[in-house]
Chain A
């Protein structure tokens, strides 16, 4: 991962190995004003399909207010260990310089939550993702964070408020049942029980 500041897995051609579409990271806000968590990834040819796929894969049941998606390759990610191995990363990491823009900062500072990965902790303005990472550490690191994601605001596609009714609301009154919640009394089960009784009697 050293050298390039951006995840470059998609730019490495793997002919005959990976026929998948690019990966998008999916972020979810369950209720208005609530925290934004990364909840997983989907494959999609573009952002619109990514949002749609994110809805289908992740929010058919739980409550959702907003979904965001961003191409994985647009995200700069670093762990604490990676940064410690590269003490002069602020000088060494080279990224293309662009006009000042906004970056969303996500971090992970707890192992307790298993259903999501990083969580939105703030926003910085910078001319490169590396500069944004530097600002994020200066501003938001309270010593506990061990993963950082820098997501350019303009790489995010978001669901609109008007879409809540059709995208997320119908899922709320759909019952989720585990297979063992179906009261099936099958012939097979009866047969097993009867066979057991026969055995007991003999």
Chain B
């Protein structure tokens, strides 16, 4: 593998890992607070699954470049995280968290499906493991989005509000990373445009059938914020995530 290709692959793996980790942390904030006990268990379980996916990608990065996952998670400054903005936003209300998870799950499912044939073997293997879990997550969150969207005036209103604020942010998931075209050419990752098209074919009609109005399409992809730029919400999240580890760096676990 050429150094350029390796660098592009490392950036993609880190982006995949960071998205999962930050979303998992946000979801874990519902533990003990979800609307009903059954959902508390379910959503915590989904958060754990995403944490497991993060681990897969961090470990692949470690295998590629030797970066220690624990250092990346617990001792990296917030400014160096490369997650998309939508996953760092505060949990909001239940509609917001369910819709965010649906948008992410439907994206992750499409990505996993299109990665099954990756010519970078570890990625193809990861996709085969992740995909069944995403089928289940997707089923769970789609079920909630539909019920809230088609429920009462209030639940529909809250879901619409969540969609209005999340819709422009979701397209950052499909923005190519620097050097991504090399990964696509090598057959390692799906082409971003192909990924986005497949996702839109599923998400747009689904959301409309759930009684929601799709907001106007966001800006052109070229103007999507880079993953190095974050909202003010990431720093407190990372501080929270790293608080215990930073208390005693040398502690053994």
Whether B45 lies near A56 (C-beta < 8 A) is: yes
Q: Encode A42-66 as 1/0 by CB contact (under 8 A) with B.
A: 1111001100110111001000000
The number of residues on chain A lying at the interface, defined by a beta carbon within 8 Å of a beta carbon of chain B, is: 25
Whether A44 lies near B38 (C-beta < 8 A) is: yes
Whether B38 lies near A184 (C-beta < 8 A) is: no
Within 8 A of B (CB), among A156-194: 165-167, 169-170, 182-187
Within 8 A of B (CB), among A77-104: none
B contact set with A: CB distance below 8 Å: 36-39, 41-42, 45, 49, 132-133, 135-136, 139-140, 143, 147, 248, 251-253
* Nearest A-chain residue to B144, judged by Cβ: A49
A contact set with B: CB distance below 8 Å: 20-21, 42-45, 48-49, 52-53, 55-57, 60, 165-167, 169-170, 182-187
Whether B248 lies near A60 (C-beta < 8 A) is: no
Give the docked Cα–Cα distance between A169 and B42 (Å).
Answer: 16
Whether A48 lies near B45 (C-beta < 8 A) is: no
Cβ-neighbour of B135 out of A55, A60, A165, A187 (below 8 A): A165
Write out the residue numbers on chain B whose beta carbons fall within 8 Å of the beta carbon of A57: 38, 41-42
Interface of B is mostly: helix
* Nearest A-chain residue to B38, judged by Cβ: A53
Among B37, B45, B136, the most chain A Cβ lie within 10 Å of the Cβ of B136
Whether B132 lies near A52 (C-beta < 8 A) is: no
Whether A169 lies near B36 (C-beta < 8 A) is: no
Whether B136 lies near A170 (C-beta < 8 A) is: yes
Give the docked Cα–Cα distance between A169 and B132 (Å).
Answer: 8
Contacts A48-B143, A166-B139, A187-B251 hold; do A56 and B133 have CB atoms under 8 A apart? no
Give the docked Cα–Cα distance between A53 and B132 (Å).
Answer: 17
Write out the residue numbers on chain A whose beta carbons fall within 8 Å of the beta carbon of B251: 185-187
Cβ-neighbour of A56 out of B42, B132, B248 (below 8 A): B42
* Nearest A-chain residue to B146, judged by Cβ: A48
